[in-house]
Chain A
């Protein structure tokens, strides 16, 4: 018997929400030990040492000056969403996704709430935006349009350093007007993607991704699933990290997040964001490679001499994939049904890494449950933000490994404990735009009239309650 932490709660919510006797319910995040968080199995001792040291950097907390006790990192702000990678990538272990105060393994509040008051001078606290709650998902906010009507799509930090004790007194930068932008329908959200096992993904050949994708073409076509890969604008290669598969490598992913989420300029994204001179408190890039080790030597360990972004990338690159626990009859039946109704056509179960520089990581079969392609999801999930080739409603197939211990789902965290969790996430895959006329495939802003997942979700909906429950149980075993 598995231990699940919210099954009763969710069952009640689901029953009330549906107004009918719904037997199936999300069992909630799987209990027990975290299924991820350690180094890749098979690494040698040196590589494990690099992983552990890089993890320390991933867990470091940044302040503006680096002078605040217990906040050794330098370069926070001028705007930021958090002050440490691990504060948001937390559940079920360092590297994961949003934590929750009562569910999961880590049991902590949304760390963003405390940032409104942390290290603030008297009377200088900031406002927690309405879409951030103690038991809600960690979120970043993006504005769809600029005030002049042109496309924005960029991240607008929830907080600024103004009023922090270690910020220059000259910095008076106000928080964005989230209430106003929300009222104008101009805000979309993203939640942190888990980073476990990403070294395997990075080390998977394009040929394999394309080959596996092409192998399902006939079955996909039958269900109305298209899809394509997001590609880098320079070399044309497949990009694979982030909600829209917009980032090419883990280093770019780390450097971009460091700059955007924490406001730390670095050697990958070297310029301070915002252009507010009076709030720029440090020479840039704030995070950089080190000429000398902490001991003053020109030689040091990889972690000591590298910049933080490289360490973050190494932590992700060397982190193990989540371990599944698929075992019960229901879970195994759920796996069969998952494949039978077509979920696996996008949520590809198995890929194999190619030649690796790391010990024991060559040709490792792993189970991300993603094709790493992008798909049109229609009006319901569309966020109207373009990243690389991915348009308004295109999203990367979210990898399902580790989903058994996740709290919040979908790119904006709209599915979670309060509204049915995984069941809601599944239902949100379907979308049909009633304003589209016969024969119309896309709206003027590039959103598909019908989600590519409609056929699969119709299959799901046709299952019995018990079969649906098996699929939910299977997902919670990943």
Chain B
């Protein structure tokens, strides 16, 4: 039975899968543009409809997978992988669904995707999408394999001359400009939106194995730094707009957060807090805050605090 299905699948895939057929191409071209910040719920509909219209077309499925990968969060990505596991089981012996199942793990369990692509290539050495996907994976920084990339690219191009590869991973959105050059006029709403955008960027790293643990940790550290800047901008916004109570409450909250801050970020947070006291009340406020910081840290941060004290005295 499996042999028969495989033979049928082989017949179905006899045409090299280099690009979508005309009908699918037209449908793909008609899809509405997607905002990068859109949620999956906002953009999945058209791609899902396309897949339903062409349920056995690899390119329609790829488009759907790409939309989920670009916009989905953990639960949605997991659900997509589970869906393709089901489809693979339903279409047992159909190399296209073996391929699509493997591809659904791209960037999530990339080693599993590699194994699946190799299995596809073994079953059908002319199945171009598997060579394309392997070349893309080997071209990534996380799974770099120059020889493998060259070999798979060459196999792909042999079947699909002029074919193109996608960069893996897709480039991340830029970090919010607000924190690069903080404008004095930033509002609390702008700060919130910028933090949310950068949290979304962080999420697109956190969920994928394209990024090494060290890169992810670095991104988390940068995110925390942004929060300190964001809190500072927000306190200043409250002060500027006459919301003293809110400003004071946030400053107290910042000190509480600082008491729980470890490592190099302590200095970042302490500088932010002291800067706001310097803005607001001058030397007395700075001195009192420094004493509270000394009490909380029990002398373990004296070098940094002394340096900050000197820096703020000379301001």
Contact = CB atoms under 8 A, between A and B. Distances in A.
A66 B213 CA distance: 14
Interface string A260-272: 0000000000001
Given A61-B260, A169-B39, A277-B79, A69 B74 contact: no
Nearest to B189: A122
A354 interface: no
A70 B39 contact: no
B39 A278 contact: yes
B213 to A, nearest CB: 8
Interface stretch (B55-63, B130-138, B200-208): B200-208
A331 interface: no
B72 to A, nearest CB: 8
A318 to B, nearest CB: 22
A276 B192 CA distance: 24
A165 interface: yes
Contacts of B228: 69
A283 interface: yes
Contact of B256 (A70, A122, A169, A171): A70
Contacts of B202: 65, 67
Interface string B209-234: 00000000001100111011001000
A220 to B, nearest CB: 48
Contacts of B79: 277
B39 A71 contact: no
Given A168-B39, A170-B39, A67 B76 contact: no
A350 interface: no
Contact of B74 (A68, A166, A282): A282
B305 interface: no
Given A70-B257, A70-B258, A283-B207, A165 B199 contact: yes
B220 A66 contact: yes
A280 B219 CA distance: 20
A279 interface: yes
A202 interface: no
A170 B196 CA distance: 12
A272 B260 contact: no
A78 to B, nearest CB: 9
Contact of B265 (A69, A167, A283): A69
A86 to B, nearest CB: 11
Nearest to A122: B189
B5 interface: no
A121 interface: yes
Interface string B238-262: 0000000000000000001111111
A67 B196 contact: no
A69 B261 contact: yes
B35 to A, nearest CB: 11
Nearest to A277: B75
B188 interface: yes
Given A69-B261, A168-B200, A276 B231 contact: no
B98 interface: no
Contact of A278 (B76, B196, B231): B76
B192 A69 contact: no
B76 A65 contact: no
A170 B44 CA distance: 12
B195 interface: yes
Contacts of B207: 282-283
A231 B256 CA distance: 43
Contact of B199 (A166, A272, A276, A282): A166
B229 to A, nearest CB: 10
A152 interface: no
A304 B200 CA distance: 28
A121 B196 contact: yes
Interface in A238-290: 272, 276-284
A69 B227 contact: yes
Interface size class of B (residues with CB under 8 A): 35 or more
B28 interface: no
A283 B74 contact: yes
A296 to B, nearest CB: 9
Contact of A70 (B73, B193, B261): B261
B308 interface: no
A72 interface: yes
B105 to A, nearest CB: 13
A72 B206 contact: no
B269 A69 contact: yes
Contacts of A60: 260
Given A70-B258, A70-B261, A278-B76, A170 B220 contact: no
Given A66-B220, A68-B224, A277-B79, A168 B258 contact: no
Interface in A175-229: none
B75 A280 contact: yes
A73 to B, nearest CB: 10
A122 B188 CA distance: 8
A171 B227 CA distance: 21
Contacts of A59: 260
B37 interface: yes
Contacts of B189: 122
A71 B231 CA distance: 14
Given A166-B199, A168-B39, A278-B41, A67 B220 contact: yes
Contacts of A276: 75
A123 to B, nearest CB: 8
Given A68-B224, A69-B227, A278-B41, A168 B73 contact: yes
Contacts of B261: 69-70
Given A280-B75, A281-B74, A65 B203 contact: yes
Contact of B224 (A67, A121, A167): A67
Contacts of B258: 70
Contact of A69 (B75, B78, B196, B257): B257
B200 A169 contact: yes
Interface in B29-76: 37, 39-41, 71, 73-76
Nearest to A284: B74
Contacts of A170: 39-41, 71, 73, 76
A308 to B, nearest CB: 15
| Residue with the greatest number of chain B CB neighbours at <10 A, chosen from A67, A72, A281 | A67
Q: List 5 A-B pairs, minimum CB-CB distance, nearest first.
A: A70-B257, A280-B75, A277-B75, A67-B223, A69-B227
Interface of B: 37, 39-41, 71, 73-76, 78-79, 188-189, 192-193, 195-196, 199-200, 202-203, 206-207, 219-220, 223-225, 227-228, 231, 256-262, 265, 269
Given A70-B256, A280-B73, 5 more contacts: A67-B199, A69-B224, A69-B225, A69-B257, A169-B39
29 contacts: A65-B202, A65-B203, A65-B220, A67-B199, A67-B219, A67-B224, A68-B224, A68-B227, A69-B269, A70-B256, A72-B260, A72-B262, A122-B188, A122-B189, A122-B192, A166-B195, A166-B199, A170-B39, A170-B71, A272-B75, A276-B75, A277-B73, A277-B76, A277-B79, A278-B73, A280-B75, A281-B203, A282-B207, A283-B74
